[in-house]
Amino acid sequence: MSTSEHRQLGRSGIQVPLLTFGGNVFGWTADQSTSFSLLDALVEKGLNFIDTADVYSRWVPGNEGGESETIIGNWLKQSGKRDKIILATKVGMDLGDGKTGLAPKYIRQAVEASLKRLQTDYIDLYQAHRDDEDTPLQDTLATFDALIKEGKVRAIGASNYSADRLSEALKISADAGLARYETLQPEYNLYDREGYESGLEAVVEEHGLGVINYYSLASGFLSGKYRKPEDAAKSARGQGVVEKYLNDRGLKIVHALVEVAEAHHASPTQVALAWQIARPSITAPIVSATSLAQVDELAKATQLKLTDADKRLLSEVSSY
C-alpha cells in the first residue's frame, strides 16, 4: 500500500505526503542496517518526507551529533534514491565548541557540514531549529535566501519560534524581498494543543505556512500503551510520559481514542494522527518508527477518514 495524497509545504511548490518521518531514531534507537530497511520501506509506501537535524543524536552517550544525517547520507549513496525523497534538516541547536545559533557565518559552516554528511548537493527544507535572539532576523534570513539562490536549499522553515517572532520574521522577508519561512515545526498533539492553537496557528493560517508538528503522539502516550503508573516500564522514556500525561485529562483522551479506533478497526495511534491530519492548518505530523510493522501502522493512518462526530469527540475531550 502506498499513500497517494499529497500537500504543499507552504508556498514552496514542494509536495509531501500526509506524514513526515522523524529521523531522530537513526543512530539512536535504530542502527544503520535497521535505518536502511526503514528508509526503503518508507519510500515504498510513499512516506518519503524525511526530517532530521544536525544535532541528532547528540544526546546519546558517545555520540556528538550528525549521526542521523550520516546514516541517511550512507543510505542515499547506497540506494541512489535521492530523487525519491524530500529531505529536511535543521540548524541552530548546540553542537558544542561554539557551534550553535543562526549567525550567518555559522549557518554557512553548518549547511556545508550537513550536505557532506547527507552526501547530497541540496536540502529540500532547511529549518532554523530554534529562534536565536542574539542574531538579527534579517541577517539569518538573508543567509538562508543566499543558500536558496545558490541551489543548496529549496525552501526554509522555522521550528520552536513564538508567534510574535514568526510574524516578525515573515514581515522582514516581505519587506526586504528575502525568502520567507514556508513551514513551522511546533510541538502539537491531542494533549499539547494550547501552545500551537493559542497564537501560532493564526499566524500560519494568515500567511499560508505548512506545519510539520513534532511529538504528534505525545512521546507514545497517545498510542494508548500507558494507562497506569506501572506502564512506565514499557519504554525508556516511559517514566517521563507517565509523569506528564497520565492524569484525568490524558486518560479521557486515551479512552476516546480507543473508542473511535474500535469503531474504525484501527489503532489509537492511527486515530490520533488522523485527527491531526484532518485539522486544516496541519500539513504532515512528524512520526517515528523503529520497525517495519510500525511503518505499516503509520502508513494506514494516512488512509483513515474520521467522521465529523469522531473529530468533535476528540476535540471536546482534549479541550484545554
Residues marked as catalytic: 56
CB neighbour class for 304 (10 Å; exposed up to 12, middle 13-18, buried from 19): buried
Strand partners, 155: 125
104 neighbors 70 (Cβ within 8 angstroms): no
Q: Output the CA angle 16-284-298, nearest 5 degrees.
A: 100
Query: What is the residue-wise DSSP string for 217-272?
Result: TGGGGGGT---SGGGGGGSTTHHHHHHHH-SHHHHHHHHHHHHHHHHHT--HHHHH
Strand partners, 7: 16
189 neighbors 213 (Cβ within 8 angstroms): yes
124 neighbors 114 (Cβ within 8 angstroms): no
Element of type H or E holding 314? helix 308-317
CB neighbour class for 45 (10 Å; exposed up to 12, middle 13-18, buried from 19): buried
Task: State the Cα torsion 38-128-113-119 to the nearest 10°.
Answer: 40
Q: What whole-number distance in Å separates Cα of residue 310 and Cα of residue 313?
A: 5
Q: Output the CA angle 38-44-46, nearest 5 degrees.
A: 100
Q: What whole-number distance in Å separates Cα of residue 147 and Cα of residue 108?
A: 8
Q: What whole-number distance in Å separates Cα of residue 297 and Cα of residue 301?
A: 7
Reading the block at residue 40, the C-alpha cell is 526503503
Strand partners, 20: 286
